[in-house]
Amino acid sequence: MTIYKGIHSLIGNTPLVELTHIPIPNKVRIFAKLEYFNPGGSVKDRLGQSLIREAIRDGKISSSGTVIEATAGNTGIGLALAAVGTDIHVICVVPKKFSQEKQILMRALGAEVVNTPTEDGMTGAIAKMKELMNRKSDCWSPGQFANQANPDTYYHTLGPEIERDLQGRIDIFVAGAGTGGTFMGAARYLKEKLPDVKTVICEPEGSILNGGDPGPHRTEGIGMEFLPSYMDPAYFDEIHTISDGEAFSYVDQLTKQEGLLVGSSSGAAFAAAMREAETARKGAHIVTVFPDSSERYLSKGIYEGVEQ
Ligand code: PMP
């Protein structure tokens, strides 16, 4: 039996599960990396850990400095978790619309949460973060939307894990994009190692990648209002835009048929994987990422048919 030394050593190396009950066309096999097995409950624990390490290692702030970040929530939880056991203070700037569960978890882990108006979106949160930076000393903002460390974290962790888990037998990689860090990092790694892999981004309606206008969506954690600097279209072969209805309907199916308690961005990723399965060769291997759990969206009615 392995005894883990402290919770931080449990970040990453999440399980990969093959879906076995939902009927998939063309005898395609769909595998999902269960990122809610991370100790802070999401794919962004990986980023929080590498950013706090970067802050300390590169002397961006003193050992009792402040990290300020604009976040939809999961990166905030990842940062707050990584800062536990240090004297670093974390301030998360979160648009009001994002789930209360995530904001409560950030506070429980010792972070401060500053809300910005829902209608100002992530752009508003980033502006507020910059304002706070100007007012404080000994502070640093990772700036996940423009920080190469974001995709690099996934290049060095998620990408190699996926290749190892499937022993390189991967035809299609599908992931959602919010900051795009998860997708870009893992897709770049996989394309370098396995040049034949098709890489597919998924986004909600109201995201700009497929040329749409920015707009509201219920699917939480994915969707872009602008193109982050590190997004390189050479690494995406296809973009699927998934409606909220489709994402939430798959959340329901994944829960009832597979026992997977996943959030709406996982439902969207699965919808995109199913679209790919329709045209994939017989028996193809599709691997995707389920970024977090439904438990942090219960108060937002993620299970529409279930009594609150
Ligand atoms: N799903 C959820 C629930 C998230 O919180 C995030 C992070 N924004 C993502 C997907 C997408 O990850 P990334 O920011 O790396 O694109």
pLDDT of 189 > 90? The answer is: yes
Residues 263 and 219 sit within 8 Å (Cβ to Cβ): no
Q: For residues 148 and 145, what is the distance between their CA atoms, to the nearest angstrom?
A: 9
Q: Whose CA is nearest to atom 12 of ligand 1?
A: 178
Q: For residues 178 and 173, what is the distance between their CA atoms, to the nearest angstrom?
A: 16
Question: What does the pLDDT read at residue 308?
Answer: 78
**Residue 14 token pair:** 């999440």
The pLDDT tens digits for 31-61 are 999 999 999 999 999 999 999 998 999 999 9
Partners of 95 in the beta sheet? 116
- In the chain, the DSSP E strands lie at 16-18, 29-34, 66-70, 89-95, 112-116, 139-140, 172-176, 198-204, 238-242, 285-290
Of ligand 1's listed atoms, the one at least distance from the Cα of 73 is: 5
Instruction: Specify the CATH number of the domain 43-140.
Output: 3.40.50.1100
280-290-174 Cα angle (round to 5): 30
ipTM here? 0.99
- Phi-psi sector, 89: left (phi>0), alpha (psi -120 to 50), beta: beta
* Bridge pairing between strands 29-34 and 16-18: antiparallel
Of ligand 1's listed atoms, the one at least distance from the Cα of 44 is: 7
222 CA from centroid of ligand 1 (Å): 5
Return the CA Rg of the chain. 18
Minimum mean pLDDT range among 5-9, 72-76, 167-171, 270-274: 72-76
pLDDT of 246 > 90? The answer is: yes
Tell me if 272 CB under 6 Å of ligand 1: no
The pLDDT tens digits for 119-138 are 999 999 999 999 999 999 99
Handedness of CA 84, 89, 93, 99 (dihedral sign): positive
202 CA from centroid of ligand 1 (Å): 11
The band of 293, judged by pLDDT with boundaries at 50, 70 and 90, is very high
Q: Domain limits of the chain?
A: 7-38+148-300, 43-140
- The amino acid at residue 308 is Q
Give yes or no on whether 7-38+148-300 and 43-140 have one common fold. Answer: yes
- The amino acid at residue 212 is G
7-38+148-300 topology per CATH: Rossmann fold (3.40.50)
Pocket test for ligand 1, best of 35, 43, 227, 262 (most atoms within 8 A of CB): 43
Comparing CA positions, the residue from 73, 103, 110 lying closest to residue 264 is 73
pTM of the model: 0.97
pLDDT of 10 > 90? The answer is: yes
Residues 74 and 44 sit within 8 Å (Cβ to Cβ): yes
* Three-class SS state of 219: coil
